[in-house]
Amino acid sequence: MSTFFSEMMCLCLAVTTVLGGLVLCKLKKSPGQVGRKVICLVGVLGGLCLLSLSLFWSLILFSLSCFLMYIYLSYQELLPVDAKVVLITGGDSGIGHALSKYLDQLGFTVFVGVHNEKGSGAEELRRTCSKRLSVVQLDVTNPQQIKDAYSKVVEKVQNRGLWAVVNNAGILGYPIDGELIPMTDYKNCMAVNFFGAVEVTKAFLPLLRKSKGRLVNISSMAGVVPMVKLAAYGSSKAALSMFSAIMRQELSIWGIKVSVIQPGGFKTNILGTSEMRDKLEKDLLDHLTPDVLEDYGQDYILKQRNYFSSVNEYGHTDLTPVLLNIQHAISAKRPFTFYSPGSSAFPWLYFVSFGLTIIFDYFNKKFNFSVSDMPRALRMPNWKNKAM
């Protein structure tokens, strides 16, 4: 009996080793988030098995887990490029610019929509990328430019269809308390971040249906996590995330897969130039009513410039995690519904989704509000008595 048991143990150990090796081989081919998730899952399952079961049954269950993960990872393998055509919006700078270069290097045929086809970003793409990449004028708030871009893409793809649309174009506006944000900022954020993505999607869906391709929308952690100072931006990204979730269900019958990218804190040019920020600040001050300006104080408003320096200080400069996740969404046999590149993104998203609101609000208040940074009226010792 002991000999039989020993032989079974050796067999189980051999099977586990082989399956574990196969899973590791698959992991090497799995970009970014896929590999991290599987490694964490394997570690948790292995630990639970060893703690709760005998060695024999632990090996059995662990082998079964490795087999299932091998099947799962097989579906996560990337499809060949095969001259697939991808449209990217917002390619002047930031994520869209880096993604255009990255996909061009991988062999994709890339159409890059830019806000200014004569700008430095567009010129750099023409200079550094292959002839497969085409720069097209595409302001996502301009219906005629969307139609013109559609015509250029149709001319290229003809009956093949378009493989993927990446709605990346976005603006931030001026980050400050929601009461102070001008209505023009709210409308501009919705026009670019939401309505622009919707209109581009609607225009190019007939081409995606032909290829049974991919729709990838670049949202933000701010579209799920309620972040102070970002009422306009966060609301527009939340709308984009909900639109994506509905389209994912509706387009599944056509074979189109929809993914949402929700990056954490990465340093891009979405903050704009200092001249652009100065203009936004001036517009904000010009549109405030006297009573609101008195309560908040001009010194409080001017202090919000510190937000830009903090983003530049703590934002990640390496966009590789974002690019790998977008590549996976475009190329994987079965892409994920949501991607959260960035070290801070997933913990915050998980905490907001499953944690208690009162706890989130408490820590958020501790981190974001101090007496010295309070609006003018709140710094006055007799403010509460006046209010009563």
194 contacts 219 by C-beta, under 8 angstroms? no
pLDDT at 354: 75
pLDDT at 75: 62
* Side-by-side strand order, sheet with 164-167: 134-137, 109-114, 85-88, 164-167, 214-218, 257-261, 338-339
185 domain residue, yes or no: yes
Same domain as 196, residue 270: yes
Give the total residue count for the chain: 388
pLDDT at 30: 54
pLDDT at 1: 45
SS3 267: coil
SS3 118: coil
The residues near 98 (Cβ < 8 Å, ≥ 6 apart) are 319, 322, 323
Same domain as 106, residue 49: no
Query: Is residue 314 annotated as a catalytic residue, yes or no?
Result: no
Q: How far apart are CA 122 and CA 113, in angstroms?
A: 9
Q: Are strands 85-88 and 109-114 parallel, antiparallel or unpaired?
A: parallel
Q: How far apart are CA 150 and CA 129, in angstroms?
A: 22
Same domain as 227, residue 119: yes
Amino acid at 3: T
Q: How far apart are CA 166 and CA 86, in angstroms?
A: 8
Read off the CATH number of the domain in which 224 is found: 3.40.50.720
Q: How far apart are CA 250 and CA 257, in angstroms?
A: 10
pLDDT at 59: 59
Tokens of 186: 């709210």
Q: How far apart are CA 156 and CA 161, in angstroms?
A: 9
Burial of 177 from C-beta contacts in 10 A (0-12 / 13-18 / 19+): middle
Around 51, how many Cα atoms within 13 Å sit in the side-chain half-sphere?
6
The residues near 11 (Cβ < 8 Å, ≥ 6 apart) are none
190 domain residue, yes or no: yes
pLDDT at 356: 76
Tell me the whole-structure pTM to 2 decimals.
0.81
Same domain as 107, residue 19: no
- Determine the longest span between alpha carbons in the chain, in angstroms: 90
Amino acid at 68: L
Q: Tell me which residue range forms the domain holding 39.
A: 9-75
Report residue 58 CA to chain centroid gap: 38
Query: Which H helix or E strand runs over 159?
Result: none
pLDDT averaged over 10-residue windows placed end to end, the chain, 388 residues = 54 54 53 52 53 55 64 74 94 96 96 96 96 97 97 91 96 91 94 98 97 96 89 97 98 97 82 79 89 90 78 75 95 92 75 76 70 76 55
Nearest to 220 by CA among 256, 166, 172: 172
Same domain as 306, residue 168: yes
Q: How far apart are CA 262 and CA 22, in angstroms?
A: 31
Residue from 233, 296, 300, 339 carrying the catalytic annotation? 233
pLDDT at 61: 64
Same domain as 121, residue 13: no
Same domain as 110, residue 55: no
Residue 8: CB atoms within 10 Å: 13
* Last-in-domain residue among 56, 75, 94: 75
94 domain residue, yes or no: yes
228 domain residue, yes or no: yes
Same domain as 149, residue 198: yes
Domain count, the chain: 2
Beta strand residue intervals within 128-172, DSSP E? 134-137, 164-167
1 domain residue, yes or no: no
Same domain as 163, residue 287: yes
In 292-310, which positions are buried (b, 16+ CB within 10 angstroms) versus exposed (e)? eeebbbeebbeebeebbee
334 domain residue, yes or no: yes
246 domain residue, yes or no: yes
Same domain as 324, residue 276: yes
pLDDT at 217: 98
Same domain as 39, residue 150: no
Give start and end residues of each alpha helix (H) in 53-119: 55-75, 94-106
Same domain as 158, residue 34: no
